[in-house]
Structure 1
Amino acid sequence: MSTTELAEIPFFPPDLFEGDRAVLLRLLRETGTSASQRFILGEQTAAFERELGESLGGAEVVACGSGTSALTLVLAAMEVGPGDEVVVPAFGCAPLASSVLSVGARPVFADIDPWTMVIDPLAAAERIGPRTKALLPAHMFSVMADLPAFAELARRHGLRLLEDSAVAQGGVLEGRPAGLWGEAGVYSFVQVKTFGMPGEGGAVVTRDAELGRAVRMLRNHGQDGRTRFTHHRIGWNSRFDELQAAFQRHRLPGLADRLSRRAAIARYYTERFAPLAERGVLAPPPGTEGRCFYVYTLLAERREALRAHLARRGVASHAYYPQALPRQPAFAPYVLPGDGWPAAERAAERALSIPVYPHLTDGQIVRIADAVCDFPFN
């Protein structure tokens, strides 16, 4: 192996956009010297929304300041508010609950599937009550949630369906892209996501034009884009940056190839790790249907020992969400006494993610897999 191959393999590399340095610098100058002097919500943002929407088969896209604010804006546009409840996963990122609370509603936590780590539709169904207004399933790590089941659940109970697809851009389930199973979905463009950029940003995607218009108004202090300083609703500041829009337009054509590389790496890992299930390390389910390889996450009985072993081998790893959401101090006040989420709490103890970003070399991929397989299981 070369010296480069023997160097530490970071979980996320510090040079994610090094290959686009010249383009980014050119776009920075062009944005800063443009005659329009629009640094937010200008022609680049409009073009980016249009092009991303076209790539999704004609969806309405509203670029926002972050994936988190996108969730909040959609909930507000759906008129979820005080007195309402929203069923959310018990395992995942804080905005699943905080966005619900930010519009005055209450998150109700449902347990997850113990293998895929996505919210279990049967557990979610048990949490539906007279105040339930919406379902908020989320895709996790490398597996899309069971959106056909959630779509049916929402239809049967007359609920709004918002899809947190922040980590799943590029995933497809039954021919439908992640983000377009519910009334709306959200993407995150933070650096390490599948369509990340060098900054904060996100988007709402929907086929409901009226819902899209409402979100577009709410992201800009309730203004409709036609008359400044006329505020039709109480809104937020969640506007998209023109430089980032231009950069994402540049990178959009290469997204499919980057996603394909992620999937190929994941396929190799899954094949290598299949024999480890009987030894306490469980890989994600195999296959490509409903997959979105943002990160590749193992379930390890001895997670901390495995993490230390990988570090000694020069492989960085990361334990996401080491505490179930309802056990977090911020959200514990909204939990009913005696409630429990055993699968979520097991995942919080066992989940360990390893590198899967597209510019890993073949040698690095083999080295990572070798390190996992060489773990002393006994």
Structure 2
Amino acid sequence: MRAEIPFFPPDLFADDRKVMLELLQEIGTAREQKFILGTRTADFEELLRDSLGAADVVACGSGTAALGLVLRAMGIGSGDEVVVPAFGCAPLASSVLEVGAKPVFADIDPHTMVVDPDDVERRITDRAKAIMPAHMFSIMADMPRLVELAAQHKLRLLEDSAVAQGAVLRGTPAGLWGNAGVFSFVQVKSFGMPGEGGAVVTGDPELGRTVRMLRNHGQNRRRFVYDIVGTNSRFDEIQAAFQTYRFAGFPARLERRAAIADYYTERFSRLNGRAIVPPPPGREGRCYYVYCLQVEKRDELRDHLASRGIGSHVYYPQPLPLQAGFAPHAPAGGRWPNAEYASRRILALPIYPHLSDSEVARIADAVCDFAREDGALR
């Protein structure tokens, strides 16, 4: 019986368990009994800030919270519009709605599955205040074009780079193309941790200062003195210490993900260009958080992989504006054909860094065997 290859591995942090237990003991028994926003959080923020060349990095409760904090810091609220992708995770729309603004859904590029700048431009009205692109799976959005659009229309630009930490496009890291970006440290992300957390990254010190107050009830330097109305989105000291420890290994983990993606893409280059479509090759603007195929017979391939003990995952089975929670905020009868097409076809393969070479080959073999049986192999 062959061992299963899960899509979400249960042992991401197994090698670091001893370190985590030591940090629990150290922080839990320290004299100061400081479990949030202490020196370890400050050190973690400084580490990220220096590695990115950012003006500020503000660690907060989650990637979702980070989006809302930035939107509030930008002064976006009732009556404003924010152009977001129609294809992606719920916070793209919910964070906008939570500040009282309206998400305006733009379609995606059919191959890369990131937001289409041409459709973004078509959706901009005089009520628009920001563009919020999302880097998807392994591919960064077309940030050079989106920077131009934001400047041309005098809009703020907020990158949802939650899945793209470590990606670099034309020498600029994900998160630093616009006014601000966000990262997510939830377990399965490229720099995930065993818990919930996120960060705002920005080249604007004033925007960073406002976010820093908002995450801590509006307090600045003095406790119980509230300069603005904020919320509770503070970062955990144990997680900050753990992530600081693990940061040195982050480049190697990114490289392993990229090497697996290179192998997949080379193996899948012989697949029929319509029935099974791999992502575009290359490493520019990539972090390979996940590796997604577009598959004409998606559910059949998923069942085929499962029969061989290989996990897979369907991301975003329906575009955001067609989901019950967000449809009331989208134009009646609206269509987003490329997002709808991707939702029917997308299937993600395992790509976490501690997959062995033999496991990676086994996954690729299974996909190619399916393609051969289906006549999709050239």
TM-score under structure 2 length normalisation: 0.98
2:198 counterpart residue number: 202
Residue in structure 2 matching 1:348, options 343, 349, 352: 343
1:187 counterpart residue number: 183
1:362 counterpart residue number: 357
Residue in structure 2 matching 1:377, options 362, 374, 378: 374
- 2:43 & 2:59 partners in 1: Cα distance? 11
- 1:66 & 1:34 partners in 2: Cα distance? 26
C-alpha deviations, 1:184-215, integer Å up to 9, x for none? Answer: 00000000000000000000000100000000
Structure 1 residues 235 and 277, CA gap change in structure 2 (3 angstroms) = farther
- 1:240 & 1:277 partners in 2: Cα distance? 47
1:237 counterpart residue number: 232
2:129 counterpart residue number: 133
Residue in structure 1 matching 2:59, options 54, 59, 63: 63
Residue in structure 1 matching 2:208, options 212, 224, 240: 212
Code of the aligned partner of 1:14: P
- 1:278 & 1:123 partners in 2: Cα distance? 25
2:97 counterpart residue number: 101
- 1:203-352 pair list within 5 angstroms: 203-224=199-220, 226-278=221-273, 280-352=275-347
Code of the aligned partner of 1:22: K
Code of the aligned partner of 2:39: E
Tell me, which stretches of 5 or more residues in structure 2 are unaligned?
A: none
Structure 1 residues 58 and 157, CA gap change in structure 2 (3 angstroms) = closer
Preserved contact between residue 280 and residue 377 of structure 1 (Cα < 8 Å): no
Question: How far is 1:114 from its partner?
Answer: 0.3
- 1:377 & 1:279 partners in 2: Cα distance? 12
Question: How far is 1:58 from its partner?
Answer: 4.1
Code of the aligned partner of 1:235: G
2:151 counterpart residue number: 155
After the TM superposition, which of the residue ranges 205-214 and 278-287 deviates more from structure 2?
A: 278-287
C-alpha deviations, 1:66-92, integer Å up to 9, x for none? Answer: 000000000000000000000000000
Preserved contact between residue 279 and residue 377 of structure 1 (Cα < 8 Å): no
Secondary structure of 1:185 counterpart = strand
Question: How far is 1:337 from its partner?
Answer: 2.1
C-alpha deviations, 1:86-132, integer Å up to 9, x for none? Answer: 00000000000000000000000000000000000000000000100
**Aligned-residue identity in percent:** 67
Preserved contact between residue 280 and residue 300 of structure 1 (Cα < 8 Å): yes
Preserved contact between residue 277 and residue 283 of structure 1 (Cα < 8 Å): no
Residue in structure 2 matching 1:36, options 32, 46, 55: 32
1:83 counterpart residue number: 79
Q: Does 1:174 align with 2:170?
A: yes
Question: How far is 1:153 from its partner?
Answer: 0.2
Residue in structure 2 matching 1:12, options 1, 8, 11: 8
Preserved contact between residue 54 and residue 201 of structure 2 (Cα < 8 Å): no
Question: How far is 1:278 from its partner?
Answer: 3.4
Question: How far is 1:59 from its partner?
Answer: 3.6
Preserved contact between residue 54 and residue 176 of structure 2 (Cα < 8 Å): no
Residue in structure 2 matching 1:143, options 139, 145, 154: 139
Residue in structure 1 matching 2:116, options 117, 120, 128: 120
Question: How far is 1:277 from its partner?
Answer: 3.1
Code of the aligned partner of 1:167: V
- 2:191 & 2:32 partners in 1: Cα distance? 27
Secondary structure of 1:277 counterpart = coil
TM-score under structure 1 length normalisation: 0.98
- 1:297 & 1:254 partners in 2: Cα distance? 25
1:74 counterpart residue number: 70
Code of the aligned partner of 1:91: F
Q: RMSD value over aligned CA atoms?
A: 0.8
Code of the aligned partner of 1:342: P
Question: How far is 1:338 from its partner?
Answer: 2.6
Question: How far is 1:279 from its partner?
Answer: 5.7
Residue in structure 2 matching 1:47, options 20, 23, 43: 43
Code of the aligned partner of 2:271: L
Code of the aligned partner of 1:374: D
Preserved contact between residue 54 and residue 202 of structure 2 (Cα < 8 Å): no
